[in-house]
Amino acid sequence: MKENAWTRWPSREALSREGLSRSRRLLAWTVRALVLSLLLWGAVTDSQDDGWKAAAAAGGVLVAALLSRLFFRTTLRHRLWPSLASLALLQGVAVMAQLSGFKVAALVMWCGCAVSALERLPPAVALAAAGVALGSFGAVSNDDVLTSLATCLGLALAGYTLRLDAEARGSAQRLLAQERAARAAEAETAALAERARIAREIHDVLAHSLSAQLVHLEAARLLIERGGEPEQVLERVVAAREMARDGLAETRQALSALRGELTPLEDFLSHLVSTADGAEITITGERRALPAEASQTVRRAAQEALTNARKHAPGATVRLCLDYRPHEVTLDVRDSGGSPGELTGAGSGYGLLGMRERAELLGGSLEAGPGVEGFVVTLKVPV
């Protein structure tokens, strides 16, 4: 249901003083001071040295000021009847001033009532209230008809101009508030995305490191249960300790990555392959620096694929191929296959799922499944 334009109030932003520049605030106070000065001057000049009459005139000016303040406050709250009551009382004070001989003060109050009504009331009510005030002004004015009519039209135009200006300022205030809300929402979204990225990094580092340690510790446990050689058990424990150290180094590297400090991807993969038995790497295409998110996705996918190969195909040869293409980078990890290891059931099973989610967030893909010989993981990331 559309709001009737004739009964619509000016917005609260338009009626308030918010958004006014310092110069406009100064102008507004100057106009108020000028109106008050005119009222006081009219009261003094029309009292003709009569003390009681001057005191009554000063009291009338005070009452008019209080009623004006009440009118501004009630219109700001969009309260129609209190606003009309205060405006009617103001015009009543103007009539009393006219009857008491304070003609200047009466004319100023009628003009002020007309302009304020057109600026702050709904249009239908404003026209009626301004018509009463301007009619009273024209009735008591000493000017000729054409001059009075021109004055009334000028006052009506001034009130309407002030209304348009206030509405424009109110619209600007609402747009500014919406822009601030949008910026706050954008900042909150960015913060949440950054938290999710940090959580992903920490999860991937810990998952890889702890999974690798679990492989060696489980192997050590099985050797102890089956009466294996102490040297073999010690070898597994030492390997787990080395994995813990590597995990700590990877955690530090992840923190550096979060700060934008990344080692070259080729160096990282070469070091990763050198610490894994039976693994080799091939790099093709024109090498170039990748965005941080893409680089981290490739690193984590390689780590996860090597860890899975250790679990599910112990002793198998693992080949990594990093291919730089014009618009994407591809990582292919495949093992030579073999009998499932005794640690096949270890781990949560969510590593490849997390890698797939990482790739899809960047617009890429990750495919994993049996190949000709063993298991194949293929990651594609657009860059």
**Bridge partner residues of 365 (DSSP):** 380
Identify whether the C-beta of residue 176 lies closer than 8 Å to the C-beta of residue 18. Answer: no
Percent of the chain at pLDDT exceeding 70? 80
Max mean pLDDT among 10-14, 29-33, 244-248, 343-347 falls in 10-14
| Total residue length of the chain | 383
Which tokens in the block code for residue 3?
Answer: 């709001």
Backbone angles phi, psi at 375, to 5 degrees: -105, 140
Higher pLDDT, 263 or 383: 383
What φ, ψ does residue 356 adopt, rounded to 5°? -65, -40
Tell me the pLDDT tens digit for each residue of 340-381: 544 444 444 446 777 888 888 888 999 988 877 788 999 999
Dihedral in degrees, nearest 10, Cα atoms 173, 174, 175, 179? 100
Spatial contact of 294 and 383, defined as CB atoms under 8 Å apart: yes
For the chain, give every domain's residue range: 12-142, 263-383
Q: Residue 324: is its pLDDT beyond 90?
A: yes
DSSP codes joined into one string, 307-359: HHHHHHSTT--EEEEEEE-SSEEEEEEEE---SPPTTTT-S-S-HHHHHHHHH
Which pLDDT score, from 0 to 100, does residue 345 have? 45
Q: Alpha helices of the chain — where are they, by DSSP H?
A: 12-15, 22-47, 51-76, 80-99, 103-120, 123-140, 145-225, 230-258, 265-274, 292-312, 351-361
Whether the per-residue pLDDT at 232 is higher than 60: the answer is: yes
Gap between the Cα atoms of 371 and 309, Å rounded = 13
Does residue 219 contact residue 240 with C-beta atoms inside 8 Å? no
Which two tokens mark 184? Answer: 């706050």
Distances (CA, A) of 90 to 113, 125, 235: 7, 16, 99
Q: At a CB cut-off of 8 Å and minimum separation 6, what does 38 contact? A: 104, 105, 108
Widest pairwise Cα distance in the chain: 124
Strands 318-324 and 279-285 turn out to be parallel
Predicted local confidence at residue 1, as pLDDT: 39
* Predicted confidence (pLDDT) per residue in 73-96, tens digit: 998 898 999 999 998 998 888 888
Class of CATH domain 263-383: alpha beta
Task: List all residues 6 or more positions away from 21 whose beta carbon is below 8 Å from its beta carbon.
Answer: none
Tell me: pLDDT of 164 over 50.
Answer: yes
d(CA 251, CA 254): 5
State the pLDDT at residue 322.
Answer: 93
**What is the pLDDT confidence band of residue 331, given thresholds at 50, 70 and 90?**
very high
Q: Compute the average pLDDT of residues 42-67.
A: 69
Of 30-44, 228-242, 328-342, minimum mean pLDDT range = 30-44
Average pLDDT, the chain: 79
For residue 111, the model assigns a pLDDT of: 83
Instruction: Determine the angle formed by the axes of helices 145-225 and 351-361, rounding to 10 degrees.
Output: 150
Q: Residues 128-156: what's their mean pLDDT?
A: 82
pLDDT tens digits for range 111-134: 888 888 888 889 989 899 888 888
- If you search the block for the tokens 């000729």, which residue do you land on? 144
